[in-house]
Structure 1
């Protein structure tokens, strides 16, 4: 086949592969190889002292099926994802539509919306830890104005996960807003003007013109939101440590706790493989279902 290609064609192919080589090496070294190494490591027991690791096959996964903490963390993570992905994307789109219009002080408003994004996650967790503190935190100070008693927001299994969701939506929405704002500013104004001449309302313009053209951005933002929903550790370490009674324990925090607190690296590897499989399945659904609804200009 290579004999049928002229020299310039072979040169272009060679140059193309050489240009892709650095990215391919980084992708294999820091993504594919660690994933395969983690899967291989999950088939071995954790070495302890003079006892070396031994091959145990799928025993880690059998133990996982009987692990109540794993199932609690998985269910919590699914609820956390459901409670953060859609609200963060919807709020980001709403904020982008607002600050994209002609209004006084929109530069200050954009800065205010984006500020939570640039704050370190540990700082954000400590700020909200103060807000949620019983008796003298901001929320209980407001409740006190209405004669309501203090409430332990992070110490109650009924509210702790909702509190973490609210913090994540508050932090992520400003980051997603930037992408929507950039997409809105790239839209041809003639499309909106033509719809207005046809007598379309604002809602019709958004539903029939703006929203379909935002679908490529929505797909990109949705992928990032899913990844964020399954990689939360910092806020849990500072605010709840998975409590009370594992009510705020999420998968990645459970992996962190298993690997670096209980020093069970083999079981932590198996948990990581399950997390990667969940993310791969979600990504497959995203790019097969949402891609069909994506309209490009």
Structure 2
């Protein structure tokens, strides 16, 4: 009787998971397998069917100078956005979690950029960076500097995009940190105060370790976002000048829909997925060790 009950419970649980599992397979696993398969073939054109070429697309990728430039751009973009966004989100969460006048308004102000569509954000910052009439140029010239084409200079276009992305994402990550801070029992702070522990010591020894699960979650999301945010490139730079601001996902879009080479785009996609998998696993290995007290 107990065995039948246990089997019924397991079947019932599997049936509850079945709709989500079907959607996951249909819209995630199956497209990935099809993309992997497509990367070993040529692009079908007209009456010419796709032909198996093995690792030829991957060999071509290794010799693609634009791919390496784009990959380098994405690495700089990730290193510029992830640590700063996460650190700024934590600082903002600590700030709005304390005793602060008009706390709700400050939280709303920090979170507002998050709810704006990326296209709208790109248009706002496109105006900020416009030479001569933009906000940035107005501030620079008011301080005695010269007008500059911020998005037209290969040396400044990527930092400009990094600043905009940090402004957009920090408020989103702040919400997770704020929720985690409010879940910390107040008794811990009272006990630390009785023991004579200072604010910095309490933050370093108690608050920060308790926030590590949230930090792991935020870091993984920030890493994924740094490789999938391409909306702003369509509005602001189109990957220019001379691919100086092109990122990997935007390059995949160009190859697939501008050059119509879906086979090579599939190869680039597999590389992107593999790269994200490696980064996620690395973060789990190095950060998860500090997620919980042992």
- Give the TM-score, by structure 2 length: 0.98
- Describe the SS at the equivalent of 2:53: coil
The one-character-per-residue Cα deviations of 1:11-51 (angstroms, maximum 9, x if unpaired) are 11111111111121111111111111100011111112222
1:106 aligns with 2:99: no
1:261 aligns with one of 226, 247, 258: 258
Which of 49, 56, 64 pairs up with 2:61?
Answer: 64
Aligned equivalent of 1:28, options 25, 29, 35: 25
Look up the match of 2:239.
242
Say whether 1:38 aligns with 2:35.
Answer: yes
Unaligned runs of 5+ in 2: none
Aligned residue among 82, 85, 89 for 2:82: 85
Distance across 2 between alignment mates of 1:26 and 1:290: 30
Whole-angstrom CA distance in 2 between matches of 1:10 and 1:51 = 52
Asked whether 1:168 is paired with 2:165, we answer yes
Q: What is the deviation of 1:151?
A: 0.6
The reply on whether 1:272 has 2:269 as its aligned counterpart is yes
Q: Spell out the pairing of 1:172-191 with structure 2 (5 A cutoff).
A: 172-191=169-188
Alignment partner, residue 233 of structure 1: 230
Q: Residue 191 of structure 2 is aligned with which of 191, 194, 212?
A: 194
Structure 1 residues without counterparts, runs of 5 or longer: none
TM-superposed CA distance for 1:147, in Å, is 2.3
Listed as ranges, the matches of 1:114-129 within 5 Å are: 114-129=111-126
Aligned length: 294
SS in 2 for 1:54: coil
Which of 214, 217, 220 matches 1:220?
217
TM-superposition CA deviations, 1:123-175 (whole Å, max 9, x none): 00000000001111001111121222101111111111111111111000000
Partner in structure 2 of residue 94 of structure 1: 91
Say whether 1:295 aligns with 2:288.
no
